[in-house]
Structure 1
């Protein structure tokens, strides 16, 4: 006598494809928002620097789109929110970046870039661009390392190298010029059939 199939089992078998489809949709949403930033950006003290951030979402851009920029010092520590965007930009009103962050992006074109005015050496650190465009809220987390230096400033080692190398190079050049002149004179005197004229002998 065969075992009768349980109603619950058949119901579960019918629901299984829907569960798999739902799981696939969830995975698809998790991977549907991609963000790209520059791994490393170099800047000079006092000169505006652009931090680029582009994104690509499978969902239409709406007013629910969110952009958040955070910062962590090079020495380490907690992440600090420095910029927020939702329909309009909201730069931070406190902290070291107060009044120095400007919005240069265009969400309609997938651009969430910002600019930092008058960067300082203490601004060196890691910047993270986060974008959420519901229902696409899961994304990769790219990081940008900002390195600020002073333009045209020579280190003591570089200055010492220049002071040592420059005089030596001048001496070598002068020696080469002198040797070249002597070589040309000897070459002219060694030409076949060269004889001194009476005028040249009297001049000597």
Structure 2
């Protein structure tokens, strides 16, 4: 009986160790981190660098989240944001005062926001999540950010102001000027169509003569000469006309 007990004693000590060895892999699961592969933004925009993770363990105070940046020109990545129970945004460097924490570890969110993006922010951003004991798998995810120059856009209010203060007044002025020109032209045409009876157009006498009209149109000067010549003829005829016989005798 002592021999049997001696044999079962070591088995009792070894059994818990074997059970822990076979059950340990089921207690530790790989963590998965994901983020968009590429992002595009315009200069001056606020860019949300999205990062989500899945873990079988509940987030604790040991959980850490890090964001690192590698410039587009190349070089080693530099960590600029850290989270451990609370957010630690960068206090100096390129991203100082421009990073906001948008994450919620209880919901599997580890996102941040980059304020007032510039062309110098082009590069690769890496999100790293550690949540012990889930430390295996792929705890990193990368996003390539491309910031482009901002294209000026015309707002509706700008177009309305332009129409009201520039185009509409200029259109009204143009219509007024066109109306004045048409009215002046019409007056000129009417004045040319009306002629006084005593007016003679240049070359009209010659045209009348060529047309076989023997009579010459009377002008003001012609009327004056006609009156003077008539008086002269009358006086001359009076002198040359012989007086009646009775009238001559009474003279003597």
What is aligned with 1:63? 61
Give the distance between the partners of 1:15 and 1:63, measured in 2 at CA.
30
Match of 1:52 among 32, 50, 53: 50
- Structure 2-normalised TM-score? 0.51
Give the distance between the partners of 1:89 and 1:139, measured in 2 at CA.
24
Match of 1:35 among 28, 33, 36: 33
Match of 1:109 among 107, 110, 115: 107
Relative distance call for 1:22 and 1:75 in structure 2 (3 A) is farther
Deviation at 1:19, TM superposition (A): 7.8
**Regions of 4+ moved over 2 Å:** 13-20, 22-25
Deviation at 1:60, TM superposition (A): 1.1
Query: 1 or 2 for the larger relative contact order (CA 8 Å, sep ≥6)?
Result: 1
Question: Is contact 2:29-2:55 (8 Å) kept?
Answer: no
Deviation at 1:23, TM superposition (A): 6.7
Based on CA coordinates, which of the two structures has the bigger radius of gyration?
2
Structure 1: gaps of 5 or more residues: 1-6, 154-204
Structure 2: gaps of 5 or more residues: 1-6, 153-252
SS in structure 1 at match of 2:45: coil
The answer to which structure has the higher helix fraction is: 2
What is aligned with 1:147? 146
Give the distance between the partners of 1:82 and 1:23, measured in 2 at CA.
35
The count of corresponding residues between Structure 1 and Structure 2 is 141
SS in structure 2 at match of 1:24: helix
Q: Aligned-residue CA RMSD in angstroms?
A: 2.4
Deviation at 1:43, TM superposition (A): 1.0
Relative distance call for 1:24 and 1:108 in structure 2 (3 A) is closer
Give the distance between the partners of 2:58 and 2:17, measured in 1 at CA.
30
Match of 2:130 among 132, 144, 157: 132
